[in-house]
Amino acid sequence: MPSSRTEPLRVLVVDDDAHMLRSITDILRLRGYSPLGAATGTHALDIAHEIKGVPAVALVDLHLPDMDGIELIGRLREIAALTEVVILTGNASVDSAVRALREHSHDYLVKPVKPDQLIGSIERAGERSQRRCAEAAMRESQDRLRLIFEHASDALFIADDAGRIMDANPAACTLGSQSLEQMRMLTMAEVLPENGVNVLDVRSATFAPGVLVHTVRDLTRQRRLEDQLAQAQKMEAVGQLAGGVAHDFNNLLTVIMSYSSMLLMDIDAANPMRGDIQEISNAAARAATLTRQLLAFSRKQVLQMQAVNVNEVVTHVEKMLRRLIGEDISLSTHLDPDLAHINGDSGQLEQVLLNLAVNARDAMPNGGALTIATGNVDLSDEHGDRHMGAAPGKYVMLAVTDTGGGMTKEVQQRLFEPFYTTKGPGKGTGLGLSTVHGIVKQSGGDVYVYSELGHGTTFKVYFPCLSAEAELIATTAEHAAITPRGTETVLLAEDDEALRALGERVLSAFGYNVLVARTGAEALRIVAEHKGRIDLVATDVVMPEMNGSQLVAKVLKARPGIRVLFMSGYTDDEVVRRGVIDGQTAFLQKPFTPDLLAQKVRQVLDLPAPAAISV
C-alpha cells in the first residue's frame, strides 16, 4: 500500500461464505488494511451505521442470504456516498456485471480470487475513494468561500490587470450602486472615482496571474464618528479649564462687588471718591459677565429651567435684533405655529439667539438677509451619524441663516472654542459661539453649522422637546423691590475666608444672627453645640473634605426643619444641580451682591413650612 497513507484504509468485506470471508480479511490485514467482515447484508449495514468514518472500500458478494447484493450497494451508498464498491461473485454472468456497473461499482472480481488480484483491485478502489474525498472537500471549501464572498460586509471586487471587473459581491454592488451585470461592464476606476465623497480604504491582492482581488472598506461613517469624538473631547477639556478659572474668579468678584457696593451705601453722596468706587463696581460687573459666559461654555452654570416656547423667545428679542443688525440687513422669521415646548432657560435662549444674530451681522458688513426659523424635527436613527451628539428623538429646531461671507472648514472646526475669533483685536471676544455651545449642550441639545465660503451660513440648534406630561419645573426668581430684613439665626458655611467674612457682615447688617463655619465639620459642631434655634444653613457647594450637599444631609438629620440655601459659582454636584432644576433646592449663584444674598435668605426663610428640601 502507498506509504503516503497515514491511517490504514477501512475495507468492508461482505460474504456469506465464512471461509472466504476469513481468508480475505486475513489477506487484507496482512497487507496493512483495516478490514471489517460481515456475513449478511443486514450486518454490513449495521457496521456502516456504527462506524464513524465511512469505509473507503466495500467488497460485496452479490449472493447474500438476506438481501440482493445490488440492493445492499444502493443502501450502503445512502449511508456513505463516498464508498467505492468492488463486486465479488462466484458466477460471472454478464447480466450481474452489467447491473453492478450500473450501480456505479467500478471493479468486478470473480471467485476464486488470487491475492494479488484482490489487493490490486482494493488498491485502485482506495485511490478512487481518496480522489472523491478530495474533490468533495474542494467543493465544500469553494462553497464556503462563496458564502464568505456573498456575505462579507466589505466590498470585494475581482478584476483583471486592466481593472475590468469580473466579479463583485453584493456589498460591492451596493457601494457602486450597480447590479452585478452592470458591474461586469465597468472598471474599478469607473466604480470608485478618485474624488468621491466617501472615504475608502482599498487593498489589493493577487491570487493568480492577472487576477486581482480588491477589498474596499467604506470608512466614511467611522471617520465622521472619529472626528466628532475628537471634537467633543477637545471641547470637554477646554470647558474644564474655563470652568475652573471662572469658579475662582467668581469668588474674587463677589468680594469686589460686595465691598464696593457696601462702600457706596455708606459713603456720602457728595464724596469725590464715590465716582472711583462706582468705576470699581462697574468693572467688577463687566468681569462677572465674562465669567458667566465662561461658565455657560463649561456647562457648569445653574440653568433656571422651565417650559419654554422658542417662538416666544424669538418674538421677544425680535425688536432688539432689528436695532442690533441695522438697516442694511433684512430680518425675516418663519415660526412654526405648532412648535412644541422645550425645557430651557429663556434668558439663556435669548443669549443664544443674540450671539448668533451678532455673528450673522458681522458676516454681512455690506448688508444681506438674516432669517430665523423654528420647526419640529424628528432626528430618527438615519440621521444618527450626522447628529451624533443628539440622541434620536423629537426636537425643536432653531435655524439662524445669513447671506454673509461664510467660512472655511478650518474655522468651522474651531468656532465653538472659547476665545477663538477671526475678528480683529478689540472686535471679537471669541466667546459668542462657545457660550451658545455650552447653553445648548447643557439644555440637552446640540448645535450644527452649515456654511459655504461666499454663500452664507446656517446655524441649526436642536433642543429636545418637552415630554407631554412635563410641567413647569423652574424656580422663578422673585425680585423684591426693597430688600427685607430679618432676625433669624443663619449658619454660614464657606471655606473662602473673604467670602465668609463678607457673608457674615452682610447678613448681620440685615439684622440676622450669624454663625460662621470654615468647614463642614465645624458647621456640624456648631449644629450640635448651639443651644438656640438655627433657622437656615447657607452653605457653599464646593468645599474640601465635606461638600455642601453632604453637610446638608447631616444637618437635616440633626435639625429636620432647618431651611437650606446653597451658594456656588458653578456646581459639579449632581444632587444640588438636580435639586435646583426640580425646584427642590434653593440656590444662589455667585457672584452675588449683598442685596441678592439678603433677598434670597429672606425668600428661603419665608417658604411655606416645612422646607421642601430633600437631599
Under the rule (CB under 6 A), what is the footprint of ligand ADP? 355, 359-360, 363, 402, 404-407, 411, 415, 420-423, 428-434, 457
Q: Where are the beta strands (DSSP E) in 162-239?
A: 165-168, 200-208, 211-218
Shortest Å distance, C-beta 242 to ligand ADP? 13
Rg of the Cα trace of the chain?
A: 44
Task: Decide whether 172 or 415 has the Cβ nearer to ligand ADP.
Answer: 415
Tell me, rounded to whole angstroms, the distance of Cα 380 from its chain centroid.
Answer: 14
**Do 463 and 398 touch, CB atoms closer than 8 A?**
yes
**Residue 569 interacts with which of ligand ADP, Mg ion, none, CB < 5 to 8 Å by class:** none
* Distance of alpha carbon 519 from alpha carbon 494, whole angstroms: 7
Task: Decide whether 278 or 422 has the Cβ nearer to ligand ADP.
Answer: 422
**Residue entry with cell 433657622:** 535
Task: Decide whether 432 or 591 has the Cβ nearer to Mg ion.
Answer: 432
**Residue 457 interacts with which of Mg ion, ligand ADP, none, CB < 5 to 8 Å by class:** ligand ADP
Q: Which three cell numbers stand for residue 236?
A: 470637554
Task: Decide whether 359 or 571 has the Cβ nearer to Mg ion.
Answer: 359
CA angle (198, 199, 204) in 5-degree steps: 115
Tell me the torsion sign for CA atoms 513, 514, 520, 521. Answer: negative
**Residue 562 interacts with which of Mg ion, ligand ADP, none, CB < 5 to 8 Å by class:** none
* Distance of alpha carbon 230 from alpha carbon 442, whole angstroms: 19
SS3 (DSSP) at 60: strand
Shortest Å distance, C-beta 415 to ligand ADP? 4
Shortest Å distance, C-beta 356 to Mg ion? 8
Backbone angles phi, psi at 614, to 5 degrees: -130, 125
**Residue 344 interacts with which of Mg ion, ligand ADP, none, CB < 5 to 8 Å by class:** none
**Residue 549 interacts with which of Mg ion, ligand ADP, none, CB < 5 to 8 Å by class:** none
Instruction: Give the 3-state secondary structure percentages of the chain, helix then strand then coil, rounded to 5.
Output: 45, 20, 35
Shortest Å distance, C-beta 344 to ligand ADP? 20
Task: Decide whether 9 or 295 has the Cβ nearer to ligand ADP.
Answer: 295
Q: Which residue is nearest to Mg ion (CB)?
A: 432
**Residue 402 interacts with which of ligand ADP, Mg ion, none, CB < 5 to 8 Å by class:** ligand ADP
Q: Which residue is nearest to ligand ADP (CB)?
A: 432
Shortest Å distance, C-beta 214 to ligand ADP? 42
Task: Decide whether 457 or 539 has the Cβ nearer to ligand ADP.
Answer: 457
Task: Decide whether 417 or 573 has the Cβ nearer to Mg ion.
Answer: 417
**Residue 420 interacts with which of Mg ion, ligand ADP, none, CB < 5 to 8 Å by class:** ligand ADP
Q: Which three cell numbers stand for residue 383?
A: 440621521
What amino acid is encoded at 40 in this protein?
T
Task: Decide whether 121 or 359 has the Cβ nearer to Mg ion.
Answer: 359
425 preceded by a cis bond (ω within 30 of 0) = no
* Distance of alpha carbon 192 from alpha carbon 202, whole angstroms: 10
Shortest Å distance, C-beta 322 to ligand ADP? 17
DSSP code of residue 316: H
560 preceded by a cis bond (ω within 30 of 0) = no
Q: Which three cell numbers stand for residue 179?
A: 447590479
SS3 (DSSP) at 471: coil
List contacts with Mg ion (CB under 5 A). 359, 432
Q: Which residues pair with 589 in a beta bridge?
A: 568
* Distance of alpha carbon 555 from alpha carbon 43, whole angstroms: 91
**Residue 434 interacts with which of ligand ADP, Mg ion, none, CB < 5 to 8 Å by class:** ligand ADP
Shortest Å distance, C-beta 361 to ligand ADP? 9
Shortest Å distance, C-beta 397 to ligand ADP? 17
Q: Which residues of 273-311 are buried (b: 16+ CB within 10 A; e: fewer)?
A: eeeebeebbeebbebbeebbbbbbbbbbbbbbbbebbbb
Containing H/E element for 363? helix 346-363
**Residue 374 interacts with which of ligand ADP, Mg ion, none, CB < 5 to 8 Å by class:** none
Task: Decide whether 329 or 431 has the Cβ nearer to ligand ADP.
Answer: 431
Task: Decide whether 9 or 436 has the Cβ nearer to Mg ion.
Answer: 436
Pairing of strands 446-452, 107-110: unpaired
Strand order in the sheet with 329-334: 329-334, 368-379, 393-402, 456-464, 446-452
Task: Decide whether 69 or 445 has the Cβ nearer to ligand ADP.
Answer: 445
**Residue 244 interacts with which of Mg ion, ligand ADP, none, CB < 5 to 8 Å by class:** none
**Residue 415 interacts with which of Mg ion, ligand ADP, none, CB < 5 to 8 Å by class:** ligand ADP
* Distance of alpha carbon 615 from alpha carbon 543, whole angstroms: 17
**Residue 404 interacts with which of ligand ADP, Mg ion, none, CB < 5 to 8 Å by class:** ligand ADP
Task: Decide whether 424 or 560 has the Cβ nearer to Mg ion.
Answer: 424
* Distance of alpha carbon 22 from alpha carbon 314, whole angstroms: 104
Shortest Å distance, C-beta 452 to Mg ion? 19
**Do 518 and 271 touch, CB atoms closer than 8 A?**
no
Task: Decide whether 283 or 354 has the Cβ nearer to ligand ADP.
Answer: 354
Shortest Å distance, C-beta 246 to ligand ADP? 16
* Distance of alpha carbon 243 from alpha carbon 136, whole angstroms: 70
Q: Which three cell numbers stand for residue 169?
A: 459581491
Shortest Å distance, C-beta 515 to ligand ADP? 45
**Residue 126 interacts with which of ligand ADP, Mg ion, none, CB < 5 to 8 Å by class:** none
Neighbouring CB atoms inside 10 A of 490's CB total 25
Shortest Å distance, C-beta 435 to Mg ion? 9
Shortest Å distance, C-beta 241 to ligand ADP? 16
